[in-house]
């Protein structure tokens, strides 16, 4: 068993490994790494091999902090091929953690943060539980192994009604490449809902760098943009990643129709699941995602919960200062 940084020589083995992953997170694909590089974020990719067969993979992102320090983020990773051998899976995890610790020393990292996709066999005594959510702790996933009529039948009655109402109002959905209309709608959404978005350049790079693995949908009535969403595609999963709408035209129910059109495209492209990215965890009625969760639940699907994110601290004093500074910036 060996762990090493992946190279172009491993592309075929990587493709095989990714093809076997259920709910492949786009954040752990090389394509996402290239997108992050376009934003100035460095990344490294490591894999564990047994007899030249890739059985585990992790992509980590190295972000700058003041005083020439860095932090490491591992979004929705590492990815492990389930072997049914808990001892071996623990050994694999230990190898990856050991490699991350080496990188942390080389890159002067204060800490590494893990936002897991699923439970990982790690030494929990080394880790702290993260206090903030970088990624939602729950999502809703639709199983796409159904006909269009079956998908509609599995929805909340209000969801079906709103899709048909949008169609009745003459709302049309198209696929676009330029994010101008999306960004205009997003500015209205962030002002209305009180959250911060990214720059227009960020979303344009999102579309361009992810290429065919990202689709921008825009819903209009005649020439008026009503709603827009960005959906990513990785392995067996399509994910509703970003969305925006004009509240003035909420009576036209465009957000419902645009989601349904994205779901149908995901089916046509052979995806097995449509992921709504994030909802409030069960029982968290006052969660920041509670409002949008009610919308997403109207499409049916299964609520899936993620393990709590963990922090591996390398420089305790600097980590305490980092936490203190973050607290006072709130």
DSSP 150-187: HHHHHS-HHHHHHHHHHHHTT-EEEEES--HHHHHHHH
CA distances from 289 to 24, 137, 277 (A): 23, 10, 11
* Beta carbons within 8 Å of 178's beta carbon, 6+ residues apart: 204
Q: Is the pLDDT of residue 53 over 60?
A: yes
DSSP-derived 3-state class of residue 131: coil
CATH of segment(s) 2-134+307-328: 3.40.630.30
Q: What is the mean pLDDT of residues 92-99?
A: 90
Q: What percent of the chain has pLDDT over 90?
A: 80
pLDDT in tens, 215-248: 999 999 999 999 999 999 999 999 999 999 999 9
What pTM did the predictor assign? 0.93
Whether 2-134+307-328 and 138-305 share one fold: the answer is yes
The structural domains of the chain, with segments of one domain joined by +, span 2-134+307-328, 138-305
Q: What is the mean pLDDT of residues 20-49?
A: 95
Mean pLDDT of the chain: 93
Residue 144, pLDDT score:
97
Residue 81, pLDDT score:
83
Model confidence at 162, in pLDDT bands (50, 70, 90)? very high
* Beta carbons within 8 Å of 211's beta carbon, 6+ residues apart: 31
Model confidence at 124, in pLDDT bands (50, 70, 90)? low
Say how many C-beta atoms besides its own lie within 10 A of residue 322's C-beta.
18
Model confidence at 123, in pLDDT bands (50, 70, 90)? low
Residue 83, pLDDT score:
72
CATH of segment(s) 138-305: 3.40.630.30
Q: What is the mean pLDDT of residues 52-66?
A: 95
Closest of 77, 105, 124 to residue 234, by C-alpha: 77
Residue 109, pLDDT score:
98
Q: Is the pLDDT of residue 330 over 60?
A: no
Q: Residue 148 — left, alpha, or beta (φ > 0 → left; ψ -120 to 50 → alpha)? A: alpha
Q: Is the pLDDT of residue 17 over 80?
A: yes
Say how many C-beta atoms besides its own lie within 10 A of residue 244's C-beta.
26
Residue 3, pLDDT score:
93
Q: Are 245 and 210 in contact (CB under 8 A)?
A: no
């Amino acid at each position: 068993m060996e762990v090493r940084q992946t190279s172009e020589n491993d592309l075929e083995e990587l493709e095989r490994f990714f093809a076997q992953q259920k709910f492949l997170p786009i954040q752990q694909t090389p394509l996402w790494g290239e997108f992050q590089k376009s934003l100035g974020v460095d990344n490294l990719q490591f894999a564990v091999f047994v007899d030249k067969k890739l059985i585990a993979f992790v992509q980590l992102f190295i972000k700058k902090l003041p005083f020439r320090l860095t932090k490491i983020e591992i979004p929705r990773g590492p990815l492990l091929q389930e072997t049914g051998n808990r001892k071996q899976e623990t050994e694999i995890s230990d190898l990856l953690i050991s490699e991350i610790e080496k990188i942390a020393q080389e890159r002067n990292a204060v800490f590494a943060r893990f936002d897991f996709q699923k439970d990982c066999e790690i030494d929990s005594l080394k880790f702290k539980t993260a206090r903030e959510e970088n990624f939602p702790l729950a999502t809703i996933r639709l199983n796409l192994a159904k006909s269009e009529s079956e998908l509609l039948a599995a929805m909340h009655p209000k969801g079906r009604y709103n899709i048909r109402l949008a169609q009745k109002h003459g709302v049309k959905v198209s696929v676009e490449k330029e994010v101008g209309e999306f960004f205009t709608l997003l500015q209205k959404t962030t002002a209305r809902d009180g959250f911060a978005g990214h720059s227009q350049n960020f979303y344009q790079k999102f579309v361009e760098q992810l290429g065919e693995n990202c689709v921008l949908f825009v819903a209009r009535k005649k020439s008026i943009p009503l709603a827009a969403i960005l959906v990513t595609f990785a392995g067996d999963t399509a994910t509703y990643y970003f969305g925006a709408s004009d509240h003035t035209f909420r009576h036209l129910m465009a957000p419902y129709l645009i989601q349904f059109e994205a779901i149908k495209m995901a089916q046509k492209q052979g995806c097995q699941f449509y992921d709504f990215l994030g909802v409030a965890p069960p029982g968290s009625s006052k969660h920041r995602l509670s409002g949008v969760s009610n919308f997403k639940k109207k499409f049916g699907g299964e609520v899936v919960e993620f393990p709590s994110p963990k922090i591996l601290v390398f420089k305790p004093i600097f980590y305490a200062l980092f936490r203190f500074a973050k607290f006072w910036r709130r």
